[in-house]
Every structure is written in structure tokens, then in C-alpha cells.
Amino acid sequence: MDQAVIVDHDSATAPAGPLLTLFHGAPGSGKTTLARRLEAEGVGVRLCTDDWQDALGLDLADEILHERLQALLYRHALTLLERGVDVILEDGLWMEVERRRVFADARERGARIHWHVFEVPAQELHRRLVARNAAGDTGAVPIPRAELERILGLIEPPTLQERSSVDALTVHR
């Protein structure tokens, strides 16, 4: 069950520009489920590399192609923000260096940032991925347990400074 803790930083001092909704979490943590719901609610235009890769009939396991497409969609997200369009960028933002870049790029475009941080235990992630793999969900990359363990070793937890640098923070447990 998702327990959300919402922290709304001083909205009065937040930029009045477009909203960039971001995510931090491992595969199976709930990013896609939430991103699809937010898009359906009209929160913004959702950009998801896995979905685009799948829709184009491209190999979901091709990491080089994935990174190239992800960079292209990121540039598109920045263009949308420049034009005042709210964006839901469905990347995991595992590394602090990439989060700093995304936060800075958003601020340069006058965007507000709502960051969803998923803190889901490894056992629950594994359970969800087994179910997702069995269901064969569209755009879902099959992730075996060993790959999940490798990924969890790469993910850098958000710092207190990062958490306080966004306009709104929602922690999902």
C-alpha cells in the first residue's frame, strides 16, 4: 500500500512557470502507475522512454538505444517547458549528478518542480516485478532479481539538500 508523505515547500516563492513532475525510484516502485494517473488528471504531458521505445517496436533491452532516446525525449521536455507546457518526465533519476542537472535545467526555464520519491523495500520491488513480468505489460522491461539487485546498488538516495530544493516533494512508501 502506498503511503504518501507530501511536503509543500514555500509555494509563495515558487516560480509561476510550468510544472515539471519528476520521479526517483527503482523499477517496480510505482513510477509508471503514478505518471499515467497524473497524465490522465491533466497534470502534464507524460514522456516515458520505455513506452516510446515499445511503441516504435524497438528492443526494450537495447540500453544504447534507450539512452539515446531518453536524451532526445529530455531535450523535448525542456522545449515543452520553454513553451510553458507542464511535463511529467518519467525517468528514475537514480544518480545525484543527473538530478542536479535536471533541477538546474528546469529552473533555467522558470519551471516549478514536484518530485515524487519512491522508497519501496527490495522484497516488495521484487514481488511487483515478478507480477509485472508475468503480466507482460506494454513497455515494461522484464527485470530479473539479479538485475534488480544490481540496479539497487547503483541508486543514490536523495540528499536533504535535494529534497529541500524542489517546490513540492511527495515520498511514497
Domain of 84: which CATH number? 3.40.50.300
Grade residue 7 by pLDDT with cuts at 50, 70 and 90.
low
pLDDT of residue 32: 92
Q: What is the largest CA-CA distance in the chain?
A: 46
Grid cell in block for residue 53? 521505445
pLDDT of residue 10: 55
Range of the domain at 40: 4-172
CB burial string 15-51: b at 16+ within 10 A, e below: eebbbbbbbbbbbbbbbbebbeebbeeebbebbbbbb
Q: Is the pLDDT of residue 13 over 60?
A: no
Q: Which residue has the higher pLDDT, 2 or 158?
A: 158
The structural domain count of the chain equals 1
DSSP reduced 3-state for 49: helix
Q: Which residue has the higher pLDDT, 81 or 142?
A: 81
C-alpha–C-alpha distance, residues 87 and 1, integer Å: 26
pLDDT of residue 134: 84
Q: Is the pLDDT of residue 1 over 50?
A: no
Grade residue 135 by pLDDT with cuts at 50, 70 and 90.
confident
Q: Is the pLDDT of residue 12 over 60?
A: no
pTM of the model: 0.89
pLDDT of residue 99: 97
